[in-house]
Amino acid sequence: METHTYFMNNMNKKKKVLVAMSGGIDSSVSAALLKQKGFEVVGIYMKMLPDSSQKNHDQSEQMSAQTADSLGIEHFSIDLSQKFKSQIIDYFVKEYSQGRTPNPCVKCNPYLKFNVLLEESKKIGADYIATGHYVRIEKKSNSPEFYIKKGRDKKKDQSYFLYLLNQRHIQKALMPLGSKKKEQVVKKAQELNLPKAQGRESQEICFIPENDYVSFLRKRSSNGFKPGPILDSQGNILGEHQGYVRFTIGQRRGLGLAAAHPLYVLDINPNTNEIIVGPEKSLYKKTLTADEINWVSGKLLKSPLTVKAQIRYNHTPQKALVRPKGSDLIQVEFEEPQRAVTPGQSVVFYDGDILLGGGTIMESQA
């Protein structure tokens, strides 16, 4: 397996690359590294958040422009806030109203960021696109197929969030930080005296102020805020909740129940407005069904495949068997039961460090 073209030393002509620049350390250093490699670098700032977050936008956009100026590269901005609202925020609210726990970052990367990067790169005649993700793009020798691999910094690896990308995205994508450790990136930013070299890490979900999901959802929808019963697995009423959108599978705190043993959310039923709770052992499930499947290679799964499967960002991938169930459904059977398999979250598949693909969890079984 060989690394992407931009690591090759013998380039016939100077290549142009469009770099997504958020104003943060990672994207800034990515732009700097590409310029040092000899690329003609152009930075793009993508405004995602609605006008209610205009102050944060202005600061990030200004930082992005200052970084581009310090590097001596071209820079422009594009407003995607309406698309972001319709494709990401509305999806987020709808999923919670259906009793699911969504993963907006997974959707944002292919449907907005990478699609826009490809579109804008064509307009300016760029050969490549680039981001500050901690992943590697590689391809097999004598093969047109490209791969996404985990970043070498395992603590910062972001491949889980990129499983919806396809060959069209990654054959043009450069990921300068894939082989770097975070501390190396921070040091590089300081060496170059880049703006925000001491900046904070980005929030996991950028559009939720102070991570207050409940207030955010309440302003946009009344669905899921009606009081309802909290039941045990036998149907006995143990208490009352103040809206099922306040809960997710595996949650223990905030139930307001007095019990001899700790109780956890086992299921959320929006149709009956019920929360089902039980002991922690009942959270473990061995099988799940997923839809909205994507394979990075573009090739459909036709027979069972043994993989390492990851059911949330901070979950360690576990050995599992994936079986196709029609054109857009799969069944995943783990070797060992997994805790808190959550509808709406992503199940992502690996072969070693290679990202194979993934899907959205629909339901799970013991």
Assign 297 to helix, strand or coil.
coil
Which pair of tokens denotes residue 8? 């090759």
103 vs 127: CA distance, rounded Å: 31
Asked if 274 and 226 count as a contact pair (C-beta separation under 8 A), the reply is no
pLDDT of residue 202: 52
107 vs 105: CA distance, rounded Å: 5
159 vs 128: CA distance, rounded Å: 19
pLDDT of residue 59: 84
343 vs 270: CA distance, rounded Å: 13
Domains assigned to the chain = 2-210 (3.40.50.620), 224-278 (2.30.30.280), 284-365 (2.40.30.10)
The angle that helices 25-36 and 182-191 make with each other, rounded to 10 degrees, is: 70
* β-pair type (274-278, 228-231): parallel
Going by C-beta distance under 8 Å and a sequence separation of 6 or more, which residues neighbour residue 145? 139, 167, 297
Residues of the chain below pLDDT 70: 1-13, 51-57, 196-204
pLDDT of residue 3: 54
Task: Please report, for residues 168, 239, 246, 285, the alpha-carbon distance to residue 261 in angstroms, rounded to integers and kept in the order given.
Answer: 52, 15, 22, 20
Terminal C-alpha separation, the chain? 39
Establish how many alpha carbons lie within 13 A of residue 99's alpha carbon, considering only the half-sphere containing its beta carbon: 17
pLDDT in tens, 277-317: 999 999 999 999 999 999 999 999 999 999 999 999 999 99
Assign 201 to helix, strand or coil.
coil
Q: Which residues are catalytic?
A: 108, 206
Length of the chain in terms of residues written: 366
Which pair of tokens denotes residue 134? 């901690």
pLDDT of residue 11: 46
